Amino acid sequence: MKRLLTFTLLALFCFTKANAQDLNARVKVVAPKIQVTNTRIFQTLERAMRDFLNGRKWSADDIAPNERIDCNFVLNITNWDGSSSFSGELQVQSSRPVYNATYTTTLLNINDKDVDFTYTDGQTIDYTDQNFQSNLSSVMAFYAYIIVGMDYDSFGKFGGTPYFLNAQTVAINAQTSSYRGWKGFDNSNVNRYWLVENLNNKIYNNLREFIYNYHRNGLDMMADNVGKARKYISSILPVLTEVDRKRLGSYFPLAFFTAKNNELVSIFSGAAPPDKIAAMNILNAVDPANGTKYQSLSGR
């Protein structure tokens, strides 16, 4: 009887923990520049990061297993002191399914070049929203909230606001540390500070609203009527020109186009010639960094 009770409690605990999972995070730790014979610490770090991201409740809603947010974290270790001090770059990607389609659309594709942290083999990664515990846990929590926020923004107008505010809290707490990436002057305007500042800044509400309309009234309608959905996306494309031109180099617009430039080209490659040219002109103006890709819409 005691054994049965123990099993029941264990099963209940595992069920509760599994249902608390919001992310379907795939984590990879690589260290091509580090010459070591024993790679065990990289394997345990990878497992600890995956357990941290997948074992916590990041959203306020109950998310079904099939609704968990797909994301990838690839940590490239570029420096290790052989003990507990690490430096590297973190590639963070997230996506969400398109309604009635096998296609998934990228929401986030960021390469964070300032990831320094300490970690010892077998260490439990501690985190609290109340204060700074470690840079590794803060960086992962920050991007977990950004991922959830971007997902919610794509399904509901400004639905990601609570999660962007949570990410801002992480960034504020981390400013008590000496780690790079949390302050406005770190690495120009391409850092965690400016990403979350932009996402919470009302100046970019038009871009956030565009993201909602683009996904819910555009991409999600593709399965029903491709031509109509493409026309709708064409109709809202001028909204991108409303992003303050003085802020074209800001991080949020940069992150948006990094995630979406190939998809935008693909969408308009099947449009009528006048619509292709109109889209190309707008996209060239608002995202000159990817102008070569957009130029392909001209047919030349």
Question: Do strands 85-97 and 69-80 pair parallel, antiparallel, or not at all (unpaired)?
Answer: antiparallel
Q: What's the whole-number mean pLDDT along residues 70-93?
A: 96
Which tens digits make up the pLDDT trace of 191-235? 999 999 999 999 999 999 999 999 999 999 999 999 999 999 999
For 79, the token pair is: 């420096």
| Cα gap 217→237, rounded to integer Å | 13
State which amino acid sits at residue 28: K
For residue 95, the SS3 value is: strand
What is d(CA 271, CA 299) in angstroms, rounded to the nearest whole number?
12
Per-residue pLDDT reduced to its tens digit, 110-140: 999 999 999 999 888 999 999 999 999 999 9
Return the higher-pLDDT residue of 290 and 189: 290
10 Å CB burial of residue 35 (0-12, 13-18, 19+) is exposed
Q: Name the burial class of residue 75, with classes exposed (0-12), middle (13-18) and buried (19+) by CB atoms within 10 angstroms of its CB.
A: buried
Residue positions counted in the chain: 300
pLDDT in the model for residue 6? 36
* Whole-number Å distance between alpha carbons of 280 and 265: 9
* pLDDT at site 21: 87
Instruction: Give the three-state DSSP class for 139.
Output: helix
Instruction: Please give the pLDDT value at position 246.
Output: 59
Q: Which residues pair with 221 in a beta bridge?
A: none
User: Considering just the CA atoms, what is the radius of gyration of the chain in Å?
Assistant: 21
Query: Residue 112 pairs with which residues in a beta bridge?
Result: 90
Please indicate whether residue 246 or residue 229 has the higher confidence score (pLDDT).
229
